[in-house]
Amino acid sequence: MNLRTDWLDEGLKHVLLLLGSIVVLLPFYLMLSYSLKSPAEIESNTGGFAGSQALITDPRCVKAGRPAEECTMRPVVYNYTAAFREAPLLRYMLNGVLVTVSIFLIQVLVALPCAYALAKLRFWGRDVVFGLVIFCLLIPVHAIALPLYIMLAKAGLTNTYAALVIPWTISVFGIFLMRQFFKTVPDDLIDAARMDGMSEFAIVWKVMLPTAIPALLAFAIFSVVAHWNDYYWPRVVITGDRDLMTPPLGLRMFRSDLDGNEYGPMMAAATVIVTPLVVAFLLAQRRFIEGITLTGMK
């Protein structure tokens, strides 16, 4: 009896979870599938997941006067070579790495001492400052985009890496997250470090940082995902220089440059762009979930 109701219960839960995962995974499935198929198969919606992989001929290649053998290939090869040929994908990804890594490092450099001060030091006006941090969490980026842009433009920084990085270096979310985590670190540990002769800065980097690794990893994922995928801000400050474009901006290149039916190469490019994030997430998955649940600890 009991066993059967358990079965039903578990079954229902799994059906719900399956439905949820389908909703989440379907776009990725389509992206991957399109990046493998030929244009004709995409248009007629045939060929299952991977398509028939029958040889196709690139009409533009033929038009360019190249021999037919050179222009005939498998759809998957065509899509991915086109992705890398039509746009400097590697360059975009390098930009993405440069920008996200520098944003994250500077964010940590700023957020950790701030969070430490807010969590563990007693000073006049601390609660007000923390209130301001919370308040800043509520401000949408888009609301301050224009003044930010004007400031950067006046400083002559548009179309530079600096324009991509500087506005994000102070992460109130990071300060908030780390402050919440630091609250759970026992005061005794900090006092012990003081007795041992550490300065307050040394405490931040040598005691708080190592104990906060899980929280920091969670923050890293939030930060890196947000800025790797950010389309809005690069679109605002990178106006001319294609060499500074980040991956999402690069994707846009396909939409405007290629003919309407070139979904294959576009999806191939999208696949290439999301892969590093997915791989990084899978590697850090356990620590990431630990980090998210951390704030609920204690």
Residues making contact with another protein (CB under 8 A): 186, 188-189, 191-198, 207, 210-211
In whole angstroms, give the CA distance from residue 159 to residue 28: 32
In whole angstroms, give the CA distance from residue 194 to residue 205: 13
> What is the nearest approach in angstroms of another protein to the Cβ of residue 103?
23
Q: Which amino acid, 201?
A: F
- Cβ nearer to another protein, comparing 145 with 193: 193
- Cβ nearer to another protein, comparing 208 with 251: 208
What is the maximal distance between C-alpha atoms in the chain?
78
In whole angstroms, give the CA distance from residue 149 to residue 146: 5
> What is the nearest approach in angstroms of another protein to the Cβ of residue 128?
17
Q: What are the angstrom distances between the C-alpha of 5 and each of 1, 9, 12, 15, 250?
A: 6, 6, 10, 15, 52
- Cβ nearer to another protein, comparing 52 with 211: 211
Angle between the 89-120 and 172-183 helix axes, to the nearest 10 degrees? Answer: 50
- Cβ nearer to another protein, comparing 167 with 214: 214
> What is the nearest approach in angstroms of another protein to the Cβ of residue 192?
4
- Cβ nearer to another protein, comparing 85 with 126: 126
> What is the nearest approach in angstroms of another protein to the Cβ of residue 179?
19
